[in-house]
Amino acid sequence: AQTVTQSQPEMSVQEAETVTLSCTYDTSESDYYLFWYKQPPSRQMILVIRQEAYKQQNATENRFSVNFQKAAKSFSLKISDSQLGDAAMYFCAYHHNTGTASKLTFGTGTRLQVTL
Amino acid sequence: GAVVSQHPSRVICKSGTSVKIECRSLDFQATTMFWYRQFPKQSLMLMATSNEGSKATYEQGVEKDKFLINHASLTLSTLTVTSAHPEDSSFYICSARGGRTQETQYFGPGTRLLVL
């Protein structure tokens, strides 16, 4: 079974600085997708970024980028120029497409604090 | 982007009553919808997967007679908590996937259920 591990329960970053959240996963599949979701205090889950495993190029979305190391099964999220609104719980998630039965496997989350 | 709504956002009910939560995909056809439960400071726990026009698939340990799921159309899924008890109090989140990005789930804003 696939597992997703987020080893940092909490992280803190100063406003305007850069922070990296780590995520590792375990799978025997070669074709899959990885995601980072953000859950702010409102508890709305927001898609931050996604990465297709078959793409070597790291995904980027504005201030958010990933470091995808397929061989190491690592998928870290880098937040640049951190803003107060980035404070949230961040979940890493894995998806392998097995048709209608496929589902997301979530990590335990990392709580990010942004300080002035 | 893909928008998923959920209604109601909060509900308080008496023990023994049933509560229905609706999940709608507003701008895409959701071939698959998911229902999650989230306890405080924890990750999302998948309860069931529903595909339009077919019976839901429940995760191990989730009582299908307790949590009734109906996915009658490509834009609507409902979760009914039957004979609710205080231990059913929780945060329930739905998600949907479909359209061009079959592997990406988009989440509703969640429903906070309190059973007295």
Q: Do B104 and A47 touch (CB under 8 A)?
A: yes
Higher pLDDT, A97 or A41: A41
Residue B1 has pLDDT above 90, yes or no: no
Q: What is the per-residue pLDDT for A97?
A: 77
Confidence of residue A22 (pLDDT cuts 50, 70, 90): very high
Q: Do A103 and B38 touch (CB under 8 A)?
A: no
pLDDT, one tens digit per residue, over B20-47 is 999 999 988 988 999 999 999 899 999 9
Residue A100 has pLDDT above 70, yes or no: no
A with B: how many residue pairs have Cβ under 8 Å apart? 48
Q: What is the per-residue pLDDT for B59?
A: 94
**Whose CA is closest to A46, among A88, A98, A106, A95?**
A88
Nearest Cα of chain B lies from the Cα of A8 at a distance, in angstroms, of 14
Residue B2 neighbours by CB under 8 Å, 6+ apart: B25, B27, B28, B96, B99, B101, B104, B106
* Distances in whole angstroms, Cα of residue B85 to Cα of each of B14, B18, B47: 8, 9, 17
Which one of A42, A104, A110 makes the best mutation probe of the B interface by having the most chain B beta carbons within 10 Å? A104
Q: What is the per-residue pLDDT for A38?
A: 98
Confidence of residue B89 (pLDDT cuts 50, 70, 90): very high
Average of pLDDT values for B83-102? 91
